[in-house]
Chain A
């Protein structure tokens, strides 16, 4: 089976002289559930940013969903992003839009009709137990609820790859558990590949996962 993510001698840097990731090798197969761990500043978020093309590759090779991110054009980057669902620690919801419209966003971008977008958004909001808050605005919701909206949005277009950057970083234990359960259910029912950067892996995941550790610019598999 071909890899969803393949990094060979990958170099990532904000500043040319100080690479954050140096000569890293990393591969993720379809349907894998991956945890990226490491201390603050180890480059977890930097690595995730490179996966959805927010950070340019400084050297080496990085292939995500069949797209070469070293040579990718803007048009192809938009195409790649239609295959990815991203979840952020700070949710990144559009505050002027209702919950429903936020969830509809990836579907609208994919070109679905308004009716289909609405239907899918309602289905997902029901799944994340927020069907009663469709007309609310993000700032009217709690942090845990906002993260569930962000999850529903990330899943809306049935992405091949879900990238989550510290999805529970701002949440209490109860909300964190809800988010982990949702991610598990996505893995079990949709079969997306999931890459999560986190400080702490929940004790009872109940599913198979792989763990990688980032340290001093390199990525190590944890056995």
Chain B
């Protein structure tokens, strides 16, 4: 019973730590996924007197993915009934060219302003519309979610690591008599502390698998699935094997470092 309690006292903070890291990673992936989706949909409109070359513009602004001219004939044809033929000819001759510009990735507002300035400095361009206001609101919301998730993970990680270290201290005290007796018969450091390392490795494996299972189940629950679907976020961004292995690596690293630090501290006393 005591042994189970000891293991749970270690597995619980480790599970919380891994869960928050995995949650943050998932959120980051979802935001990136959403950003790339937005980047695909996001367009800058440019009005230019002169024809624009994609190659030339890309030299100046490497973030540009493609430029497309908006065919104005379709819109002029709509006016055929309302204006005279001579006015139509005049309109055709004097109307500037309209372009849609797509970017490779979604920029932040500073980068967007920079792109707008560069576009305005191109010869012939008269107007650039970035739809900055709408864009900014959404982008800032995404950035806020990312920052909030990072702060949350950091906070949880610090608390979890403190709990893990506390538990390690309790374990070391429980093991100290055994380690002392083994030392009296010449047991080397690794042998004295082997059972502690064995315990943390087992607990790290259990905690990682539990986190993996939690992330297999939770996103599939009805509430989460509908929220993700409404936001248009891809739910397939959790890979049980690679993500669980990453969690395991983090868990092992934290556990082994904690045990080593506590044992060395105990040794110095």
Contact = CB atoms under 8 A, between A and B. Distances in A.
Interface residues of B, number: 11
Interface residues of A, number: 20
Contacts of A52: 184
Contacts of B191: 108-109
A139 interface: no
Interface in A93-134: 93-94, 96-97, 105-106, 108-109
Given A94-B178, A96-B178, A86 B186 contact: no
Contacts of A157: 185
A92 B186 contact: no
A78 interface: yes
B188 interface: yes
Interface of A: 52, 54, 77-82, 86, 92-94, 96-97, 105-106, 108-109, 153, 157
Contact of B188 (A78, A97, A153): A78
Contacts of A97: 178
Nearest to B195: A96
B267 to A, nearest CB: 10
A78 B187 CA distance: 6
- Majority SS of interface residues in chain B? helix
B184 A92 contact: yes
Contacts of A79: 186
A72 B178 CA distance: 23
A81 B184 contact: yes
A92 B187 contact: no
B185 A92 contact: no
Interface in B182-196: 182-188, 191
B186 A80 contact: yes
9 contacts: A52-B184, A77-B186, A78-B187, A79-B186, A94-B177, A105-B187, A109-B182, A109-B187, A157-B185
A105 B186 contact: no
A106 to B, nearest CB: 5
B181 A94 contact: yes
